[in-house]
Amino acid sequence: MPQRFVVSSVCNVLVDILLEVTEEEFQHFGVEKGKMHLVNKKQQSKILNTLEHHPEKVELGGSSLNTIKALAQLGLNVSFAGMIGRDPYGKIAAEAMDRLGIHKNLQVHEEEETGKCLVLVTPDGERTMNTYLGASCHYDECEDVYQSVKTSQFFHFSGYQWSSPTQKKVALKAIQIAKTHGCLVSFDLADPFVVKAHKKEFLDLLDGQIDLFFGNREETSILFDGLSWPTILEKDPKKENIIAVVKLDADGALIYNKGREFVVPAHPTSVVDTTGAGDMFAAGFLFGLSKQLNLATCGHLASILASDVISHMGATLTKDALKNVLKESQTA
């Protein structure tokens, strides 16, 4: 009998390399703060060489993989597919997924190296990603992935997959399989850069393909030309069944569904590093939905995880935050 999963996903398998830099050092690289920048191997190596004396923190990364990682830590049966290189970083990623209990469908590229995301963290806590996708963008179709989607409660993916034609192809097929097998489709817009590049295609996805989407203030503004979600619904009422989650950073989040609006307050915290905040928000929300909790409570759990991950370096959750979410979900 096929194994059943709560959430399955396919996306980039990356290793995050986090470095704290001063504002002066950051300005030297001439990149826009707070965004994801796709770079080639030479560009990424140049930045790393410039900062070679800075302490590094290395951990498992990738947007959807961060979400899957958190859901595994919360005890859910999850599946993830992607591609790594046959190198030490690929080994780090595979072993980390095994430790977390993630059911992995990993392809191995014999020539391209494992993708890396060089994360520059400035004193204001903002993270700027310089990503070399490496082997991850070569991921291609695999029947095991589609089988996982067929037996999942949710299929979660991000806009970052549109950076690779093969990943995009897999995601689109997985969406169709999900829709025919009662699997809900969850979509994270991921980054303003990605939304600008693939705006029309993302809007097309919202026409009957997506059950739940996450976007921050800037991403949704770009996608909807500055219009709010309620205004979008006035123009197209058929979208009212979508669960729309608009993240507002320190102002919390707004959740919309079937004519209802929920305001989710942010949990106060000291911002150290915003890496993975949106990914962990998605994890908390999906965890709540998997437990059939109401949308306000799902937002509350999401906020707990998002506020925790930005209080320290790296896209990892503290044991206290995980315990808190588990406790809150049981008493809701």
* pLDDT value of position 189: 96
Tens of pLDDT, residue by residue over 146-164, are 999 999 999 999 999 998 8
CATH number assigned to the domain comprising residue 280 = 3.40.1190.20
Mean pLDDT of 176-200: 96
Any domain includes 1: no
Percent of the chain clearing pLDDT 90 (strictly above):
82
User: Would residue 2 count as lying in a domain?
Assistant: no
Q: In angstroms, rounded to a whole number, what is the distance separating the alpha carbons of residues 69 and 52? A: 28
> What is the arithmetic mean of pLDDT over 226-244?
94
Asked whether the CA dihedral 323, 329, 330, 331 is positive or negative, the reply is positive
Residues 41-70 pLDDT 10s: 999 999 999 998 999 889 999 999 999 999
DSSP tag of 237? G
164 CB-contact burial (10 Å; exposed 0-12 / middle 13-18 / buried 19+): buried
pLDDT (0 to 100) of residue 308: 96
Strands, sheet with 127-132, edge to edge from the N-terminal-most edge strand: 36-38, 127-132, 115-121, 14-20, 57-61
76 within some domain: yes
Give the range of the structural domain holding residue 188, as residue numbers without chain letter.
11-331
For residue 6, tell me if it sits in a domain.
no
Residue 240, judged by CB atoms within 10 A of its CB (0-12, 13-18, 19+), counts as middle
DSSP 4: P
Does the model's pTM come out above 0.75? yes
Judged by DSSP in three states, 84 sits in: strand
Q: Which of 301, 227, 309 is nearest to 264 (CA)?
A: 301
How many domains does the structure of the chain reveal?
1
Mean pLDDT, all residues of the chain: 93
